[in-house]
Amino acid sequence: MATIGSDVLEAARLLMNGELVAIPTETVYGLAANALNEEAITQVFVTKNRPFFDPLIVHISSFQDIENYAQEVDRSLEKLMEEIWPGPLTVLLPKRSILSDIISNGLPRVAFRMPNHALTQELLSMLPFPLVAPSANPFKYISPTSAAHVNQQLGDKIPYILDGGNCMVGMESTIVGVENGEIQVYRKGGFSIENLEDIVGKKIKLHHSTSNPAAPGMLDVHYSPSTKLIIGNIPNLIKKYGDQRPAILSFSEDYSHENHIDSCMVLSPSQSLDEAAKNFFGTLRMIDDQGFSLILSEFVPEEGLGRAINDRLRRAGTVEY
């Protein structure tokens, strides 16, 4: 298994030698590689079993990096970057040729992010290159929010996991870009659309999912547990599937008193969407490890980070109305 530690110098040494290292961010753990090294970038795809048509995010340490790796920045995106970075926001910008087309699936724009985690900021600041860092998990599986999650899934394939504790946001970054002069959200994530609209002072459009993604995390099926997941009205689902003794993943209500229910995990008893987002991937992973044949879940309120949670649920399971 991988070595787990907080030695930033060791992580930097491995990355400069073309190795892969798992790194912590405020959103989820990333599988990092030198963004200027095509061989290392290729190994990210191979290690994750990720298709090459799914673009990667380039992680940077400063606004100066944008000048080095992007051709230009739309003023509206610049305002968001100034307000949110470092933080859970990724922006699509026209890339310079120094960045390989492998990163962007040959598209003219590449995704950039400045993560808000002290260890990873320190790491990025000492490297002479940015990092690509998709979530540190096998492709389509639940994103990792702790070093232990990474080790469980990829520990036999990478040498080092930089341990920064549990992720504080627990949901991947929100991805935005500009099309036809308008800001669009390509992936709902750890910074709410409402807060984005407050900053720019106008409504923001949603870009629909696609099988030919323009940005990371847009595939229709993603973030999935190995156990079958059904989303709907939990009491109705229990009536229908209770004889299969399913596990329950609920927003705020405890269903463990119901017949046939041996396990019920609650994301936020206080109905906090921020708490639910932070707990979502870790709790889903915990249920998935318990050996149930079926997981029943429900949508959370479609507001704030609830939009990102519901987006992940739709991609991870089957909806029954």
The model's pLDDT over 130-164, given as tens digits with 9 standing for 90+, comes to 999 999 999 989 999 999 999 999 999 999 999 99
pLDDT for the residue 218: 60
Q: Above 80 in pLDDT, residue 213? A: no
Q: Above 60 in pLDDT, residue 211? A: no
More confident residue, 18 or 53: 18
- Whether residue 55 is preceded by a cis peptide bond, meaning omega within 30 degrees of 0, is no
pLDDT for the residue 296: 97
Helix, strand, coil percentages in the chain from 3-state DSSP, rounded to 5: 30, 20, 45
Q: Residue 183 carries which DSSP code?
A: E
pLDDT for the residue 259: 85
pLDDT for the residue 260: 84
pLDDT band at 252 (very low <50, low <70, confident <90, very high): very high
Single out the residue of 308, 321, 318, 252 nearest to residue 89, CA to CA: 308
pLDDT for the residue 219: 61
pLDDT band at 185 (very low <50, low <70, confident <90, very high): very high
Q: Above 90 in pLDDT, residue 321? A: no
Give the pLDDT confidence of 16-38 residue by residue, as tens digits: 999 999 999 999 999 999 999 99
pTM score above 0.85: yes
Q: Above 80 in pLDDT, residue 306? A: yes
Per cent of the chain over pLDDT 70 is 96
Q: Above 80 in pLDDT, residue 216? A: no
Instruction: Collapse the DSSP code of 161 into the 3-class scheme (helix H, G, I; strand E, B; otherwise coil) and give the result.
Output: strand
How crowded is residue 181: how many other Cβ atoms within 10 Å of its Cβ? 7
Q: Above 60 in pLDDT, residue 171? A: yes
Q: Above 70 in pLDDT, residue 220? A: no
**Where is 285: in which H helix or E strand?**
helix 273-288
Residue ranges and CATH numbers for the domains of the chain are 3-170 (3.90.870.10), 228-319 (3.40.50.11030)
pLDDT for the residue 223: 79
Q: Above 80 in pLDDT, residue 210? A: no
Tokens (6 digits) for 160: 């080092």
Give the pLDDT confidence of 172-181 residue by residue, as tens digits: 999 999 998 9
- Contact criterion met (CB below 8 Å) for 250 and 298: yes
| Rounded alpha-carbon distances, angstroms, from residue 6 to 60, 89, 146, 160, 275 | 20, 25, 13, 10, 26
The residue type found at 28 is: V
Instruction: Collapse the DSSP code of 217 into the 3-class scheme (helix H, G, I; strand E, B; otherwise coil) and give the result.
Output: coil
Single out the residue of 131, 161, 169 nearest to residue 4, CA to CA: 161
